[in-house]
Structure 1
Amino acid sequence: MDDVLISQLPPEILKSSLRALVSQNATSQKVFVEHVRILLRASLPVYPSPSELFGSKPCYAQFLASIRCLFTSKMAIESLPYFIHFLSCIPLAHAHWQLNDKLELALEQACGDIVQAIQALKESRSMPTAELRERLLSLSKSIDECEVYSMSNSLQYPFVRAQLQIKDVLYLIFPDIRVDRYLLEHHLEITSSRDVNPDPVAYAKLEYVQLGRLKVPRIFNGLWQLSSPAWGTASLYKQHQDFEQLLRVGLVATDMADHYGDAELVYGAFRNQLPPQISAKVVACSKWCVFGPPIKPATPDFVLEAVMERSRRLGGRVELLQFHWYDYNAKDYLRILVELLKITKSHPHLVAAIGLCNFDSEHTEEACQYLLRETGEVGIVSNQIQYSLIDSRPTIRMEAVCQKYGVKLLTYGSFCGGFLSEKWLNSDAPNIYSEEAQLTPSQRKYYDMINNWGSWGDLQTLLRVLKRIAMKHNVDLANVAARWVLNRPSVGAVIVGTRAGISNNSESNLKVFSLILDADDTRQLDECALETSRAQMLYKKIGDCGNEYRQ
């Protein structure tokens, strides 16, 4: 009967069902991807001619979709010849585009696809084979030729992000290939000709927190949305325009990671085009995330190499490097933290401060005690964790540990993936696997958190409380959710996702600094988040902060 059902289901229901199936466990996902790979290898895409791709009835959208299937099914190396063909056809077809027209948006998406395919090569630790070398060099040549074509025809060049990413992977996998110091020398003249002076009115509204020697605003820009095209794709030019706006209003601290797609490269390219007096105000925060046993012993040279890699991508200093470790039973992480703190003193031009990322309370305290014994100081300045009115697990143990050792919390998920916003007030629960819902990966993740915390009805109750308080203070609903988190003990800053080049919510986010919750406001919010024992229930169900990343 299953065969009959599958053959008769409408495509939208079939897609929704498949998403639900592969989300259940790693085994289902692995079977799905392997089956797709077998079928794709048996029927690889054809290579359209330049006139077919970009002619009167262009097929570039379908061709890009077929390439996307390859690299998202773990066939990144196989996808490279198709990207090379696509890029080579642009000058051959004499393709022309204008700002924000259909073709330019498609080329920006193609650029994002190349970035994600190359990121897959990085994260899979691809071996330096002759085949991969040839394909990467050919891809680099094709993309350089596209730059020449764009510039000679006065077209906005849409592939800078891909260009930076390709050069970065060549540097990593084939260090014998000479790669120019592209982050320092690749001048795009995007910001240098603009007025990037701060807006004194916006700056006056800000609140700040001290992280060691760093003074930072209490809202960070989060670039995790560069880790997937699910949030949309924009050119480097458009991304830098948004970064300029954030800089003008004083939101100078930006959080990224080595696995957030090309986030370090994108932000490094931005920072290194700023006038020195402006770039000195920028706070670039990245991460070193160790998700499995390291391929090298945890020696001082190994740690320094990791720091240098992130500094190289950023084209300068990492103001705050946040460290994540995969297994608390593997105690190398304690010695690594000691080495990281030493590097802040021996190589201050590489990194200024060290924090943690998704450490639980027990091992945050273990790290602090170990560092005190070994170095005479705690050293680490922060721990980045999930914290919101929905996920208030930090109230159980984490806040007390941080207060004891002077560690500040940098919180993400404080808007619960956007569910703590007016958009979802008085709305029905979404079908998270349907295309109509148009949910991002973050929203699917936080929808699960809502279900662990309570029901959709409970969320509506919370949203109504947030709305009443927001109306009372003439701010946005999301501002109230962020303010509650900022008022919690040891919280240093809230990290707000930034869809750079696609949307900009800085004007709304700044309202949080004018909001003062009174005792009644706080009591109502505490009742929703704390006094119903929801934090204790979540703690028992999914463990302490960060535990969900180690299961």
Structure 2
Amino acid sequence: MPAPLPAVERIELAPGLEVARVVTGLWQVADIERVSGTIDPDEGARALHTYLADGFDSFDMADHYGSAEVIAGRLRTALAEGSVAAPPGAKLATFTKWCPEPGPMTAEVVRRAVDLACRRLATERIDLLQFHWWLFEHPGWLDAMRELARLKEEGRILHLGLTNTDTDHLRVLAAEGIPVVTNQVCVSLLDRRATGPMAGFCRAHGIRLLAYGTLAGGFLSERWLGRPEPAEIGDWSKMKYRRFIDAAGGWDVLQAILQACAEVAKRHGVSISNVATRWVMQQEAVGAVIVGARLGESEHRNDNRRLFGFSLDETDLQRIDAALAGSRPIPGDCGDEYRRPPFLTASGDLSHHLDSLPPVYQAVPVDGRPGRLRIDSGSVWEPICGYARAVRIGDRILVSGTTATHGSGEMIGQGDPAAQTVYILDKIAASIRSLGGSMADVVRTRVYLRDAEQWEAVSRVHGRYFGEIRPANTLLEVGRLVGDYDVEIEAEAVVG
């Protein structure tokens, strides 16, 4: 008689939010519905209930995952009415995401989105609302997060999370005191970006990572062990993770990692997928992993429960580390792939989506100066002092000294020079883009510091924005910046 499967481990991600350490992801609902039409919500709810009955009572979805929110809401209603029963100890948790187009984030816009999610989820309060922003150059993301924080205080949201947000922008939110408890990012044996500086920042600020992509679109499984490299891949999700394989060193690197996982898996009597997922679960900052489900189709609950019957010991980790030593780290930080083409997701190549986003500022011609354009950012001082945020003359773009000023006068990141630098460089990027250029066109920057002792924190942020561009740069300590700012930066670009 086979041994009973272990119980699903649980974790308290944040006060009042206890979840399964394997969260069921519902992004494939949209994929199913594209082919077969909308899933009947009662049938979908019954499928979700089978996960709940097996201890997988935590579900992750989004506003654009087809009817996933409606299906989860139907399950919640059925449980409340008693037409289906929850097993002892089960605590239904529903996470959703809001992924708006960049634009003005007024209180009305934000509240309307939360109200819609609550109606779909059949709840008065969302357990975890995760925010995704496409273009950090647009400052509306801070307005949205502040309004979401107000809704949290009102009780419409239990906790706030993020998706695909890099460490620099986590820092900005932390400096602004916005309470974030999770960040959903890609983590796997191939993609270890989140195990570096992001993990350290999250530990220091009480943020847990929700890890997706742990199996790299299925490449980290028995199916690909010993197999030749495929000539073509037609699946968008696998195309995305194929890029990760190439960035990590290629097919031979993948095979070395799979072989190491196979040896560890044999030792524990589990699958390669179990080993790959368990490695992610044992990363210190990871709270839970997200495993996708195709409702009513393929089921992996039994295999996932085996994750809780073993752990990787020092011998296992050393064997895996030996294979990883032959790989290259994926460059950049978490979420970069969502903001730089080619933009590959399970929905396809959405590079055009980035290109279609409107500029943050409106370029206007300068009277009597043919070929000259300028932009204003809305600061009250621009017309008073007689300057523009940036000016384009021919192929040159000159950006005025820029501080971390939000809207008409509010400072962002007070007391945190690194956070101020992030906001400043986003504002400079928006200015250049609004005049037809990009950060890749920047040829000179000048950085002014109130305190030269802050040079390293500020310069490291500068390096993350310009490390591949390498403009000429001057860094100066000045006697006193206007206001209480720690940093001011100006830039010049030559388009093309």
TM-score for both structures, normalised by structure 2: 0.63
Aligned partner letter, 1:504: E
TM-superposed deviation, 1:230: 8.9
Greater helix content: 1
The residue aligned with 2:481 is none
Selected match of 2:298 from 503, 520, 526 = 503
- For the pair 1:385 / 2:185, whether they are aligned, the reply is yes
Partner of 2:106: 299
Matched, 1:546 2:335: yes
Q: Which residue of the other structure, out of 335, 357, 360, is the alignment partner of 2:143? A: 335
Deviation at 1:269, TM superposition (A): 1.9
Alignment correspondent of 2:77 = 272
Shift of 1:210: 2.4
In structure 1, the residue matched to 2:202 is 402
Quick one: which of 94, 113, 128 aligns to 1:320? 128
| Structure 2 residue matching 1:272: 3-state secondary structure | helix
Rounded to whole Å, the distance in 1 between the matches of 2:91 and 2:236 is 32
Q: Which residue of 2 aligns with 1:216?
A: 19
Q: CA distance change for structure 1 residues 202 and 475 in 2, over 3 Å: closer, same or farther? A: closer
The one-letter code of the counterpart of 1:284 is T
Q: Equivalent residue for 1:206?
A: 9
Question: What is the distance in 2 between the residues matched to 1:401 and 1:511?
Answer: 31
Give per-residue Cα distances to partners, 1:210-235, cap 9 Å, x unaligned.
22420111110001112224996565
Please tell me whether the aligned partners of residues 258 and 288 of structure 1 are also in contact (alpha carbons under 8 angstroms): yes
Does residue 1:310 correspond to 2:109, yes or no? no
**Preserved contact between residue 334 and residue 370 of structure 1 (Cα < 8 Å):** no
Cα 1:230–1:237 shift into 2, 3 Å: closer
- Once residues 547 and 514 of structure 1 are traced to their aligned partners in structure 2, the CA distance between those partners, rounded to angstroms, is 35
Q: Describe the shift of the 1:254–1:408 C-alpha distance in structure 2 as closer, same or farther (beyond 3 A).
A: same
The CA distance in 1 between the partners of 2:196 and 2:9, in whole Å, is 29
Matched letter for residue 431 of structure 1: A
Shift of 1:475: 1.1
What is the CA RMSD across the aligned residues, in angstroms? 2.2
Matches within 5 A, 1:458-469: 458-469=253-264
The C-alpha deviation readout for 1:471-497, integer Å capped at 9, x for no partner, is: 100111111101110111210000001
> Which amino acid in structure 2 is aligned with residue 534 of structure 1?
R
Return the offset for 1:365. 1.3
Whether 2:30 is the aligned partner of 1:227: answer: yes
| Residue 362, structure 1, aligned to residue 168, structure 2 | yes
Contact 1:232–1:502 (CA under 8 A) maintained in structure 2: no
2:328 pairs, out of 502, 522, 534, with 534
8 Å CA contact 1:354, 1:379 repeated in 2:
yes
- Flag the 1:264–1:202 CA change in 2: closer, same or farther, 3 A: farther
Check if 1:421 corresponds to 2:210.
no
Secondary structure, counterpart of 1:521 in structure 2: helix
CA distance in 1, matches of 2:95, 2:107: 22
Residue equivalent to 1:352: 158
Q: Which residue of 2 aligns with 1:247?
A: 52
Structure 2: which amino acid aligns with 1:270? L
Q: Given the superposition, is the C-alpha separation of residues 231 and 471 from structure 1 closer, same or farther in structure 2, using an over 3 Å criterion?
A: farther
Q: Describe the shift of the 1:230–1:481 C-alpha distance in structure 2 as closer, same or farther (beyond 3 A).
A: farther
**Structure 2: which 5+ runs fail to align?**
341-496
Please give the alpha-carbon distance, in whole angstroms, between the structure 1 residues aligned to 2:301 and 2:10: 15
For each residue in 1:185-241, what CA deviation from the matched residue of structure 2 results, as whole angstroms up to 9, or x when unmatched? xxxxxxxxxxxxxxxx86844232322420111110001112224996565455334
TM-score (norm 1): 0.57
Residue 276 (structure 2) aligns with:
481
Q: Which residue of 1 aligns with 2:99?
A: 289
Q: More deviation in 483-492 or 241-250?
A: 241-250
Aligned mates of 1:461, 1:508 — CA distance in 2: 23
Q: For each residue in 1:407-428, what CA deviation from the matched residue of structure 2 results, as whole angstroms up to 9, or x when unmatched?
A: 0000110011111111111112
Task: Give 1 or 2: higher strand fraction.
Answer: 2
Using the TM superposition, give the Cα deviation of residue 244 of structure 1 relative to its aligned residue in structure 2, in angstroms: 1.6
- What is the distance in 2 between the residues matched to 1:293 and 1:239? 32
Runs (5+) with no aligned partner, structure 1: 1-200, 372-377, 434-438
Amino acid of the structure 2 residue aligned with 1:456 = W
Encode CA deviations 1:155-189: one digit per residue, 9 max, x unaligned: xxxxxxxxxxxxxxxxxxxxxxxxxxxxxxxxxxx
Per-residue deviation, 1:501: 0.9
| Distance across 1 between alignment mates of 2:251 and 2:326 | 16
Taking the aligned partners of 2:30 and 2:72, their CA distance within structure 1 comes to 14
1:251 CA displacement: 0.8
Decide whether the 8 Å contact of 1:209 with 1:218 is kept in 2: no
How far residue 533 of structure 1 moved from its aligned partner, in angstroms, is 6.2
Aligned residues: 329
% identical equivalent positions: 36
Q: Residue 312 and residue 237 in structure 1: after superposition, are their counterparts in 2 closer, same or farther (change >3 A)? A: closer
Deviation at 1:245, TM superposition (A): 1.5
> Cα distance 1:205–1:310, how it changes in 2: closer, same or farther (>3 A)?
closer
1: CA distance, partners of 2:13 / 2:134: 28
Question: Does the C-alpha gap of structure 1 residues 247 and 298 become closer, same or farther in structure 2, counting only changes over 3 Å?
Answer: same
